[in-house]
Amino acid sequence: MKITSVNTNGIRAAAKKGFFEWLQRESLDVVCIQETKAQEHQLTADTFHPEGYHVYFHDAVKKGYSGTAVYTKIEPKSVKYGIGEEVFDNEGRWLEVDLGDLIVISLYLPSGSAKEERQNFKYQCMDRLEQEFDRLKSTGKDFVICGDWNIVHKEIDIKNWKANQKNSGCLPQEREWLTKLFDEQDLVDAYREVEKGPHNYTWWSNRGQAYANNVGWRIDYHITSPSLAKKAQSAEIYKEEKFSDHAPLTLTYK
């Protein structure tokens, strides 16, 4: 099973850059999209409903902002829109599909880089999401939370480690939270189960020549149950085509 996570920074913009042709060509089983920046009524064209996929959108109330989507070849037994927290759900940041033996979530964790108020909102979301992680674990099913978590974990995950210590996404409190999830809450960074090497990033600033020089951050993840992490066979960050400022992250599971 091939599962992909990608922040498209506008699903319509990514479509114009060939994203859906790539999706079909790769024959991906599940694709979790973040930052659709669209309302479902704007996505009625065949392009956004490729043959063979069940398609679900969780839009932000604010037009042209945030939003998540899931494309899946397997018809879900149920779909969960949001986490029951209005301020979070109004931004369309959590979309969950139950595929039977596997639960897949598209998560778009807020960025705190705009202003202090948004950083505080990010911390509130991080705390609240722990309840959802506990709920997922209580199901006894395998699960994967795909998404743009807007946090790097360790020095290996970012090119300019020292220069970003005071920037949102690389703050000690954020990174310590990921460590707690991995060390205490039994969640697994599945990418690191199969790829141990450095200089593997999923997001690059549009400033300067960050992409060309691979001055990036690894802020997109497959965070999974331990049993699913053991089934991860390979991982790829796709950079042959550029659909947005993020690269698609695909893991193949047995």
Active site residue 148: yes
Please list, in sequence order, all residues whose beta carbon lies within 8 angstroms of the beta carbon of residue 171, skipping any fewer than 6 positions away: 112, 165
Count of structural domains, the chain: 1
Q: Which of 59, 142, 148, 157 is catalytic?
A: 148
Rg (CA), the chain: 17
Residues 247, 224: Cα–Cα separation, whole Å: 20
Looking at residue 184, which CATH number applies to its domain? 3.60.10.10
Query: Residue 57 sits in which domain range?
Result: 2-253
Task: Kindly give the confidence (pLDDT) of every residue in the chain, 254 residues in length, as a single tens digit, with 9 standing for 90 and above.
Answer: 999 999 999 999 999 999 999 999 999 999 999 999 999 999 999 999 999 999 999 999 999 999 999 999 999 999 999 999 999 999 999 999 999 999 999 999 999 987 899 999 999 999 999 999 999 999 999 999 999 999 999 999 999 999 999 999 999 999 999 999 999 999 999 999 999 999 999 999 998 899 999 999 999 999 999 999 999 999 999 999 999 999 999 999 99
Whole-number mean pLDDT of the chain? 97
pLDDT tens digits along 148-176? 999 999 999 999 999 999 999 999 999 99
Name the amino acid, one letter, at 82: G
pLDDT of residue 115: 86
